[in-house]
Each structure stands twice: as structure tokens, then as C-alpha cells.
């Protein structure tokens, strides 16, 4: 058990890792009155908590950022930066936004209590402080915060595993399309397919997500695995990026946050297989590939940067080598061979 009126040795240099959290929760008390600090400090220390203190707003923000306490007990009324502003800044920072804040206030008017909650507080206690009441309130919120950290850790492990197996993942807020989280591979793929990096999911992805999760009962259906929405696919030449709804990552308010799994499939190997199987040139194999995909000569020309007449000439040579007379017959022959060599191919 560690007790500190400022930082334990080495904390300023090494951050939160310097605190041993294995046996106790870390509590940051913020109050400009030494007597209030002393009463709470001693009571929490005797109960086995690791205690940090701050006597003004700037010190509170610094200690919270470096130590990442498990909970903050925050005086509402302090000179200079008051507790409401401290709470707003803590909640505005991604590093400290998850930390539950309990306000300590001598103000009992409804508007002050509402202001405390609106600033980011999860609860409040009134002065004079009763340590037992404070610890009872803390116990409730520490339990919830502990579960949230455990869920977040499990989610990170799942996302890292997806990345390791060639999948990329993003978490998107359904109501406004903001990307809450993304893996490095996901960021790279989104830039490659949609252009510059953005804090928002591509409009195509946003529309697809809203269509399936904001519809009535969609979240319930997904939760019970009764139905999986159709996947979204974006093609770029012979490469294809697919999006699949994996699970809800946040609460359901406004549609919730959703973990979306992305995977890129390149059909370059399929084109190479057709070239070898039918003794086609690389360009002839590409033309045949797009015939299998149902494209007409004009579209194939646009994709390959060639005129429809050139595509027609390539296709005539493909017919001759395959011993067929129509594009339908050529596509059927190619598809049979692809399914033999690449069972996973999605035609």
C-alpha cells in the first residue's frame, strides 16, 4: 500500500506505471482546504487506498494525466480554476476521460448539482464530508470502472488478434460516423481506398452502418446472431475491401459504437492462375477476369485504361485459346477453373 501527498518517487518520470495497482485502487483528492484533505487522506489510507492529493486545478490536471487514478474526489468550489472546469478538462482528454469523478460540494442548490453532473461527474457528496459515505459511493463507481477497464482490455486483445490475422478493425459511432478507434492497418486501408485520413468514416461506410444499426430491432437481431447485415464491398481494380459488422462496442444510445471488421482481398493470384491455366498473356487474363465479374467491354476498357476495341481484340484471342465462341462460355470455363484452384473466390 502506497500513500502520497504528491507523487511517489519516480512517478513524474515514468507516469502511471510507477504506481503499484495490484493491491489497491488509486484515488486523487482535489481540495484547496488542508483540513478536508487530511480527513479524507487518513480515512482512505487506513482503508488501503493509494492516495494522491492536489490543492488547485492545475495540479489536479497534472497529477491525473501522469498517475491516471482510478477515481477522483473533486472539490467543486476552488479559487482560480474551479472543480467544474477541472472536470470538463479531464473529460475532454482521451487519456483521462474514463476516470470517474465524484464531486465534493457544500452547495446543495439543484442548479449546482446539475452543473456537477453536466461537467462529467458521476456522483456527488455534500460537505461536511463523511468518509464512510464517500467510500461507499466510491465502491460503487470503482466497481463499474474496473469492469469497464476489463471490457476495454478484452476488446483491445480481440482487435489486436484481428490485425494479426490480416483483418483490420475500426470502431465507429453510428449517430455521427466518427471513428472512435482504429488499428494501424485499418488507417492504411481507408487512406488507400478513400483518400486522406479523416476522423470520420467514409460516407459510404456511414450510410451502410446507419442503414443496418439504426433500423428498429437491428441491434437486438445482431446481439442474438439472428441475422447478419449484408457486408459492404468497395472495389479498386482487382482489389476489394469488405466491411462486416462485428459487435456493438458501446452503449446503445444514438445507435451506439460499433466494431467493424475490414479485410482486403486481392484477386491478383486468381488472374495469375488464369494466365497459367489457359496460357494467356497477363492482359488477356485481366480481360477474362473482368468478364467473369460480369463487366462489358466498355467498362473493362475503363478499368484497364484501354479502348473497347482493344478489349475486343484481347477477348477474341481469349476465345481462341479457350476454344469457345461466346463470353458466357468463356466466363463459365474460367469460373470452373477458379473454383477448383481458389474455393474462397467470391465471383
Q: Exposed, middle or buried, 257 (CB in 10 Å: 0-12/13-18/19+)?
A: buried
For residue 88 the three cell numbers come to 470538463
Give pLDDT, residue 127: 84
Q: pLDDT at position 168, please?
A: 83
So what's the pLDDT on residue 262?
87
pLDDT value at residue 324:
93
Write out the three cell numbers for 273: 492462375
The grid coordinates listed for 4 are 502520497
Helix pair angle (282-292, 327-341), 10° resolution: 100
Long-range contacts of 160-164 (CB under 8 A, 24+ apart): 162/261
Q: CB under 8 Å to 293, separation ≥6 — which residues?
A: 347
| pTM of this prediction exceeds 0.75 | no
Is residue 9 exposed (0-12), middle (13-18) or buried (19+ Cβ within 10 Å)? exposed
Per-residue model confidence (pLDDT) at position 11: 37
∠ CA 135-141-143, rounded to 5°: 100
Say how many C-beta atoms besides its own lie within 10 A of residue 65's C-beta.
15
- Helices vs strands, H then E, count in the chain: 14, 10
Q: Cα dist. 138→55, 83, 107, 124, 215 in Å?
A: 20, 18, 20, 10, 38
Q: What is the largest CA-CA distance in the chain?
A: 95
Q: What tens-digit pLDDT sequence spans the chain (347 residues)? A: 344 444 333 333 334 444 555 567 899 999 998 888 888 899 998 988 999 999 999 999 999 999 989 999 999 888 889 999 999 999 888 888 889 999 988 776 667 778 888 888 888 888 888 888 899 889 888 887 777 767 666 666 666 665 555 568 888 988 889 998 888 888 889 998 998 778 899 999 999 988 877 654 444 545 544 456 788 988 887 788 889 887 776 555 556 788 898 888 777 878 888 899 899 999 999 999 999 989 999 999 998 899 999 999 999 999 999 999 999 999 999 988 888 877 666 65
Q: What is the reported pLDDT for 7?
A: 39
Amino acid at each position: 500500500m502506497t500513500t502520497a501527498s504528491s507523487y511517489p518517487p519516480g512517478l513524474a518520470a515514468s507516469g502511471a506505471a510507477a504506481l503499484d495497482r495490484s493491491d489497491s485502487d488509486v484515488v486523487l483528492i482535489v481540495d484547496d482546504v488542508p483540513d478536508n484533505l487530511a480527513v479524507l487522506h487518513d480515512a482512505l489510507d487506513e482503508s488501503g487506498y493509494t492516495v494522491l492529493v492536489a490543492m488547485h486545478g492545475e495540479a489536479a490536471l497534472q497529477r491525473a494525466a501522469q498517475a491516471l487514478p482510478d477515481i477522483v474526489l473533486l472539490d467543486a468550489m476552488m479559487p482560480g480554476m474551479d472543480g467544474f472546469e477541472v472536470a470538463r478538462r479531464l473529460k475532454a482528454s482521451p487519456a483521462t476521460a474514463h476516470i470517474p469523478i465524484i464531486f465534493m460540494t457544500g452547495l446543495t442548490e439543484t442548479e449546482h448539482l446539475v452543473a456537477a453532473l453536466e461537467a462529467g461527474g458521476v456522483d456527488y457528496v455534500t460537505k461536511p464530508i463523511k468518509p464512510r459515505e464517500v467510500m461507499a459511493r466510491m465502491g460503487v463507481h470503482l466497481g463499474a470502472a474496473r469492469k469497464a477497464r476489463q471490457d476495454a482490455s478484452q476488446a483491445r486483445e480481440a482487435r489486436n488478434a484481428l490485425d494479426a490475422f490480416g483483418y483490420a478493425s475500426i470502431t465507429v459511432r453510428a449517430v455521427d460516423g466518427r471513428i472512435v478507434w482504429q488499428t494501424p492497418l485499418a488507417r492504411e486501408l481507408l487512406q488507400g481506398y478513400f483518400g486522406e485520413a479523416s476522423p470520420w468514416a467514409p460516407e459510404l461506410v456511414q450510410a451502410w452502418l446507419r442503414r443496418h444499426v439504426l433500423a428498429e430491432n437491428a441491434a437486438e437481431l445482431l446481439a442474438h446472431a439472428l441475422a447478419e447485415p449484408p457486408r459492404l464491398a468497395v472495389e479498386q481494380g482487382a482489389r476489394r475491401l469488405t466491411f462486416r459488422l462485428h459487435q456493438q462496442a458501446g452503449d446503445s444510445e444514438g445507435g451506439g459504437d460499433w466494431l467493424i471488421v475490414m479485410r482486403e482481398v486481392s484477386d491478383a493470384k486468381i488472374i495469375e492462375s488464369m494466365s497459367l491455366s489457359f496460357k494467356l498473356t497477363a492482359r488477356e487474363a485481366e480481360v477474362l477476369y473482368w468478364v467473369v465479374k460480369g463487366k462489358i467491354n466498355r467498362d473493362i476498357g475503363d478499368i484497364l485504361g484501354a479502348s473497347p476495341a482493344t478489349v475486343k481484340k484481347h477477348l477474341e484471342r481469349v476465345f481462341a485459346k479457350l476454344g469457345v465462341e461466346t463470353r458466357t462460355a468463356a466466363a463459365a470455363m474460367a469460373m470452373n477453373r477458379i473454383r477448383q484452384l481458389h474455393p474462397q473466390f467470391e465471383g
